[in-house]
Structure 1
Amino acid sequence: MEYEIDDSPARIQRDVVWRWLSSEAYWGRWRERSVLEAQLDAAWRVVGAYRADTGEQIGFARAASDGASFAYLADVFVVAEHQGAGVAHRILRRMIDEGPGHDFRWTLFTRDAHSLYAEFGFETPDETAMVRRASPSKR
């Protein structure tokens, strides 16, 4: 199957993103639809993956940034039927390597896909990194 990777915010199918993040994601299920909408509106960049034949969105990533030196990668997913076809790799390449933040310091929080993120230079933080965890209702 062929896929298109696009960083146009106008092409994001918000219902698809909401449906996946509110039912499939292990993170952020506390969000209400209005919170996700605000995050999408405020995103520095979004990247979507789409079936070339139908235009259906099958993957997504969002980033927040200061636009100068730092970016936070969030909400990366590929729907189950399309996993294993290199779609996540293509989404990340467009988001990180091919975008305006290719030289930024990037961060993300994840409990899986570590080897995929390592391909893009992500590694375990060193002594210069600290994290303030969210309240229990926002984890």
Structure 2
Amino acid sequence: MIYECKSYRVSDDRNDVQLDKVESLLRLSYWAGDRPLETIKVSIENSICFSLFSDELQVGFARVVTDFATVAYIADLIIHPDHRDKGIGKWMFELIHNDPRWCSKFQFLATDDAHALYEHFGFSGSSKLMSTTV
């Protein structure tokens, strides 16, 4: 699926992932800054990936690991610093959270930050693990 908002586009087509841009984005994060490139590749191959584009440049990324029956783990949501504070991360998370493939499943994520954002969508929990109820 492709979603558009302002000058941004989100695609869940794994073929649209720009690996070099995703690697660069994850290098900026506290959770995946030292993740090996091979591990990034395998995680992409085994997840539903969401790529955020400004024009044709990938400026955001997230992925979902799911069994499509009971659970969906939302991982690696990151927006390039130049594109933050525009509501784009919130929009992207809303698309992922409300995706019909898992919107009625148990959803969880692990984070050390952005708790207020995730609580807005009904997530709650400890300082690291947050989840929604089904």
How many residues align structurally? 122
Correspondence list, 1:41-120, <5 A: 41-43=45-47, 45-51=48-54, 54-120=55-121
1:136 maps to none
Identity %: 26
The alpha carbon displacement at 1:78 in A equals 0.5
1:35 maps to 39
CA-atom RMSD, angstroms? 1.6
Which of 15, 22, 41 is equivalent to 1:10? 15
In our comparison, the structure showing a higher alpha carbon Rg is 1
In the alignment, structure 1 segments of 5+ residues that lack a partner are 130-139
C-alpha separation in 2, matches of 1:31 and 1:80: 19
In the alignment, structure 2 segments of 5+ residues that lack a partner are 1-5
C-alpha separation in 2, matches of 1:94 and 1:48: 12
Q: Which has the higher strand share?
A: 2
The alpha carbon displacement at 1:38 in A equals 0.4
Q: What amino acid maps onto 1:18 in structure 2?
A: E
Deviations 1:7-53 (A, max 9, x none): 1111111110011112x10002342100110000011x1111111xx
**Contact 1:59–1:87 (CA under 8 A) maintained in structure 2:** no
**Contact 2:25–2:60 (CA under 8 A) maintained in structure 1:** no
The alpha carbon displacement at 1:71 in A equals 0.9
Structure number with greater CO (CA < 8 Å, separation at least 6) is 1
After superposing on structure 2, the runs of 4+ consecutive aligned residues of structure 1 that deviate more than 2 Å are none
SS in 2 for 1:108: strand
SS in 1 for 2:125: coil
**Contact 1:47–1:94 (CA under 8 A) maintained in structure 2:** no
**Contact 1:48–1:91 (CA under 8 A) maintained in structure 2:** no
Q: What amino acid maps onto 2:26 in structure 1?
A: L
The alpha carbon displacement at 1:98 in A equals 2.8
**Contact 2:59–2:80 (CA under 8 A) maintained in structure 1:** yes
